[in-house]
């Protein structure tokens, strides 16, 4: 049996059902190694089983590990109103993460180890799944945090940080970034950050945003190649309401500056911010002769409002399009007995959503405010001009034009030979256009804006500028 080549053994093992693989490992050392290349490549480890993981994953089993999912089991389900309960869970989470990193830091896999990805998530032993009726606490999900990185071991073998499987206990982006700070060979980050939820009061949202910015500044960038995160930021659906100012007293957009720090990672090739993030021109604005030498793909989704509480868009409020519950009244026009169970799960949710502008849906802001949008789009172009390997660049936001109808404000650049869906809007010249650098702009209310046009035409010599229609 040992005379079979490793390739043939691997092919045979690949046709065996996973539950029947283990007995094959007893045939010989050769079979054992080939079987364990599969069975130990992807491991899911619960924190109570960490000692078993330490004892079982030794020798060659460490060298075949490619993907590790660490599930932290918390002692109790976090109650956001109970400081003692929250602190107990934060402590437990921190201790388990420290224990895992302490273990992985001892692994010596030689001078050229294979890349290993890590995901960390958490859940409670006494409840699972989404909580209902938590609007009274103004939180959708319980949250745990990494209490400290002091003493957290550096783990060179982890090169990728990936999102968890969506358990109900939320690990904030600031903690994920703090964990990343101890991964010196990190090449890829893919994560979901939910710091800015609509039910949080404004002081807490500012605090969370600043904590995320501070933590992102600690992420090692020397080996970073791919950065892709979801950072959904809340912007009122009732556009008659003021936009939230999420900046601190110093009025500095620390989050955009922290993201810029990552954007200029020397080996970065792909940068993505998804789900609509509240950003300012500071994300793009180059410093003196700064360049982005290896960036090829950039995709950024931003919100309709800026971090300082100003709207990027305006319109005629008398044209406001009401949502399907058109009879919905503004905050304060309902008394405590006028609860609408058809649209809200509780009276507390109703009050909270009306207060922050999450309901009702009343969009009318569908025209760009020049003094707000122009600096953002021009700064993005100036950054793109300093990306010599750029293949695709997208900057966009969705506009709630009316019920069940959305438009967008965007700019999309494609290098010669790179396909872009917007090419199809110009079918007559599509094939010829694809051999040229081209930029598609859609800025409602600022059509043919000279400054935006001039900035993007400089991204590449001979760049075509095309205007598209929103919607």
Neighbours of 279 (CB within 10 A): 26
Say yes or no to pLDDT of 374 above 50: yes
**pLDDT band with cut points at 50, 70 and 90 for residue 138:** very low
Distance CA 394, CA 67 (A): 31
| Distance (Å, whole) CA 438 – CA 470 | 18
User: Per-residue pLDDT tens for 299-349?
Assistant: 999 999 999 999 999 999 987 754 444 444 444 444 444 667 777 777 777
CB of 352 closer than 8 Å to CB of 301: no
- What's the CA gap between 6 and 147, in Å, rounded? 46
Q: How many helices (H) and strands (E) does the chain have?
A: 12, 14
pLDDT of residue 109: 76
User: What's the rounded mean pLDDT across residues 171-195?
Assistant: 94
Nearest to 69 by CA among 121, 32, 114, 27: 121
pLDDT at 187 over 80: yes
Q: What would the DSSP string read from start to end of 155-197?
A: -TTEEEEE-----SBB--HHHHHHHHTT-TT--EEEEE---B-
- pLDDT value at position 346? 76
pLDDT of residue 126: 64
Say yes or no to pLDDT of 25 above 70: no
457 pLDDT above the threshold of 70: yes
Element (H, E) at 276: strand 270-277
- pLDDT greater at residue 453 or residue 20: 453
CA torsion, points 320, 325, 330, 333, in degrees to nearest 10?
Answer: 140
Q: For a pLDDT cut of 90, what percent of the chain falls above it? A: 59
pLDDT mean across residues, the chain: 85
**Would you say residue 100 has pLDDT above 90?**
yes
Encoded tokens for 234: 């809340």
Distance from C-alpha of 59 to C-alpha of 43, rounded to nearest angstrom: 16
* Strand bridging mode 297-302 / 313-314: unpaired
Half-sphere exposure at residue 36, Cβ-oriented, CA atoms within 13 angstroms: 19
The kind and range of the H/E element at 207 are helix 202-216
Q: What pLDDT is recorded for position 131?
A: 43
> What pLDDT, on a 0 to 100 scale, did the predictor assign at position 422?
92
- Residue-level pLDDT at 334: 47
Q: How many CA atoms lie within 13 A of 412 on its CB side?
A: 19
Average pLDDT of 440-464? 96
What does the pLDDT read at residue 136?
A: 43
Average pLDDT of span 385-400: 96
pLDDT, tens only, 207-247 = 999 999 999 999 999 999 999 999 999 999 999 999 999 99
* Whole-number Cα distances in Å, 243 to 162, 197, 305, 469: 32, 14, 6, 26
**Cα–chain center distance at 207:** 18
pLDDT tier for residue 285 given thresholds of 50, 70 and 90: confident
Q: Mean per-residue pLDDT for 389-397?
A: 98
Residue 88 to residue 94: CA distance in whole angstroms? 10
pLDDT at 72 over 90: yes
Q: What is the mean pLDDT of residues 163-170?
A: 72
pLDDT above 70: percentage of residues in the chain: 80
The DSSP call for residue 445 is T
| pLDDT confidence of residue 29 | 60
pLDDT in tens, 78-90: 566 678 888 999 9
Looking at per-residue confidence, does 447 or 142 come out higher?
Answer: 447
Out of 34-38, 67-71, 306-310, 321-325, pick the least confident: 321-325
Residue 121 forms beta bridges with which residues? Answer: 71
Task: Kindly tell me the burial class for residue 235, based on how many C-beta atoms sit within 10 Å of its own C-beta (0-12, 13-18, 19 or more).
Answer: buried
> Per mean pLDDT, which of 60-69, 116-125, 279-288, 292-301 is the most reliable?
292-301
- The pLDDT score that the predictor gives to residue 130 is 42
Task: Answer yes or no: is pLDDT of 13 > 80.
Answer: no
Q: Which residues pair with 245 in a beta bridge?
A: 308
Report the pLDDT value the prediction gives residue 135, as an integer from 0 to 100.
41
Asked whether residue 353 carries a pLDDT value surpassing 70, the answer given is yes
């Amino acid at each position: 049996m040992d005379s079979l080549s490793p390739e043939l053994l691997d092919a045979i093992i690949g046709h065996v059902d996973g539950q029947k693989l283990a007995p094959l490992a007893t045939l010989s050392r050769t079979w054992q190694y080939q079987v364990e290349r599969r069975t130990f490549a992807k491991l899911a480890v619960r924190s109570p089983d960490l000692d078993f993981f330490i004892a079982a994953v030794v020798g060659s089993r460490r060298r075949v590990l490619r993907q590790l999912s660490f599930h932290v089991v918390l002692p109790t389900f976090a109650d956001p109103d109970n400081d003692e309960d929250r602190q107990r869970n934060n402590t437990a989470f921190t201790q388990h993460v420290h224990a895992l990193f302490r273990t992985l830091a001892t692994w010596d896999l030689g001078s050229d180890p294979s890349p290993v990805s890590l995901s960390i998530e958490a859940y409670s032993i006494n409840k699972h799944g989404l909580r209902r009726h938590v609007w009274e606490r103004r939180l959708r999900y319980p949250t745990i945090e990494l209490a400290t990185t002091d003493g957290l071991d550096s783990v060179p073998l982890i090169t990728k940080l990936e999102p968890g499987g969506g358990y109900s206990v939320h690990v904030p982006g600031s903690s994920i970034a703090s964990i990343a700070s101890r991964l010196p060979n990190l090449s890829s980050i893919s994560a979901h950050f939910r710091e800015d939820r609509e039910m949080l009061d404004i002081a807490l949202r500012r605090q969370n945003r600043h904590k995320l910015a501070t933590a992102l500044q600690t992420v090692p960038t020397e080996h970073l190649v791919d950065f892709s995160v979801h950072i959904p930021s809340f912007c009122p659906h009732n556009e008659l309401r003021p936009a939230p100012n999420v900046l601190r007293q110093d009025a500095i957009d620390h989050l955009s500056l922290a993201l810029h720090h990552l954007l200029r990672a020397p080996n970065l090739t792909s940068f993505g911010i998804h789900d609509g993030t509240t950003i300012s021109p500071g994300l793009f604005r180059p410093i003196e002769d700064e360049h982005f030498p290896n960036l090829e793909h950039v995709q950024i989704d931003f919100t309709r409002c800026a971090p300082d509480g100003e709207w990027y868009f305006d319109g005629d409020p008398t044209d406001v399009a009401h949502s399907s519950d058109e009879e919905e009244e503004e905050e304060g026009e309902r008394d405590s007995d006028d609860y609408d169970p058809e649209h809200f799960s509780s009276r507390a949710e109703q009050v909270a959503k009306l207060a922050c502008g999450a309901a009702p849906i009343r969009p009318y802001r569908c025209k760009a405010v020049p003094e707000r949008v122009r600096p953002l789009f021009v700064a993005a172009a100036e950054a793109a001009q300093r990306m010599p390997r750029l293949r695709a660049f997208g900057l966009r936001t969705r506009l709630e034009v009316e019920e069940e109808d959305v438009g967008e404000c965007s700019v999309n650049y494609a290098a010669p030979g790179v396909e872009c869906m917007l090419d199809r809007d110009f079918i007559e010249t599509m094939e010829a256009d694809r051999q040229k650098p081209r930029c598609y702009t859609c800025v409602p209310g600022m059509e043919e804006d000279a400054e935006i046009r001039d900035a993007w035409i400089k991204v590449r010599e001979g760049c075509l500028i095309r205007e598209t229609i929103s919607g």
